[in-house]
């Protein structure tokens, strides 16, 4: 089954404007993400989808294929859906443009998750959280799953709430910004209305859950680093 990889990239990030082009060790962030995703042998074609000429020019300079999308998209997956609608691959992997340390193993885990059931809209990946700062960090999205690893909810808050405050009894999972979609469900997603939970949390994956869709979450031991704020650069340097 052929797979299209799409990195949605926009310039106007509220928390870190222009972060996509911010240089880390001499290379823009978007190049780190592109080169990390390109290492995956599962992806047959990898493109960067953007509506910004600055990002397009930068991407073309380091050899990436660019898809110029419309500017009115409300989230990255809508931008990915526009590109996927043109290229017609049955499976589409959305690699968020701030996933600095994306690895092939993460992409494989997401793809295997979506393949686990024909009724699954998307597969994604999460890793166990041990550090208290990570658990409380609103930039690091948390997810809770059922016994079959189906996503129940995603939040910027600490979920689940540890009512008895018993150390080590509660499992916390940090979400990684990678989604493997069945293209038919991705196109359906793009046509759905935003719902209250998505708007409140600013998390596009909640649109799937609010409309009754299914997301399977693969659990990995690999912790990635996404760049959300300038302060994350200091963490990266450490």
Structural domain for 82, as ranges: 3-237
Q: What is the CATH number of the domain that holds 13?
A: 3.90.550.10
Cβ partners under 8 Å of residue 233, min gap 6: 22, 24, 227
Pairing of strands 45-50, 3-9: parallel
Cβ proximity of 29 and 97 under 8 Å: yes
Distance between CA 178 and CA 189 in Å, rounded?
16
| DSSP character at residue 174 | E
Domain count, the chain: 1
Q: Between the CA atoms of 138, 199, 216 and 79, what dihedral angle is there, to the nearest 10 degrees?
A: -100
pTM: 0.93
Note down pLDDT in tens along the chain; length 238 residues. 899 999 999 887 767 778 889 998 999 999 999 999 999 999 999 999 999 999 999 999 999 999 999 988 999 999 999 999 999 899 999 999 999 999 999 999 999 999 998 999 999 999 999 889 899 999 999 999 999 999 999 999 999 988 666 666 689 999 999 999 999 999 999 999 999 999 999 999 999 999 999 999 999 999 888 877 766 666 776 6
């Amino acid at each position: 089954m052929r797979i299209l990889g799409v990195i949605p990239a926009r310039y106007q990030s509220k928390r870190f404007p222009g972060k996509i082009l911010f240089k880390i060790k001499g290379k823009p962030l978007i190049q780190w993400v592109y080169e990390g995703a390109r290492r995956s042998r599962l992806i047959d074609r990898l493109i960067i989808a953007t509506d910004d000429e600055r990002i397009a020019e930068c991407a073309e300079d380091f050899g990436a294929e660019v898809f110029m999308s419309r500017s009115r998209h409300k989230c990255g997956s809508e931008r990915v859906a526009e590109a996927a609608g043109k290229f017609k691959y049955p499976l589409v992997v959305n690699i968020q443009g701030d996933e600095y340390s994306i690895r092939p193993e993460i992409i494989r885990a997401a793809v295997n998750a979506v393949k686990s059931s024909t009724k699954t809209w998307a597969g994604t990946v999460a890793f166990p959280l041990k550090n208290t700062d990570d658990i409380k960090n609103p930039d690091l999205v948390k997810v809770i799953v059922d016994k079959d690893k189906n996503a129940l909810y995603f939040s910027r808050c600490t979920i689940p709430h540890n009512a008895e405050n018993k150390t080590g009894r509660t499992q916390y999972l940090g979400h990684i910004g990678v989604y493997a979609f069945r293209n038919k469900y991705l196109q359906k997603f793009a046509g759905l209305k935003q719902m209250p939970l998505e708007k409140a949390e600013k998390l596009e994956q909640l649109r799937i859950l609010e409309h009754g869709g299914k997301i399977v979450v693969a659990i990995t031991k690999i912790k990635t680093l996404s760049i959300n704020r300038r302060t994350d650069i200091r963490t990266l340097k450490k």
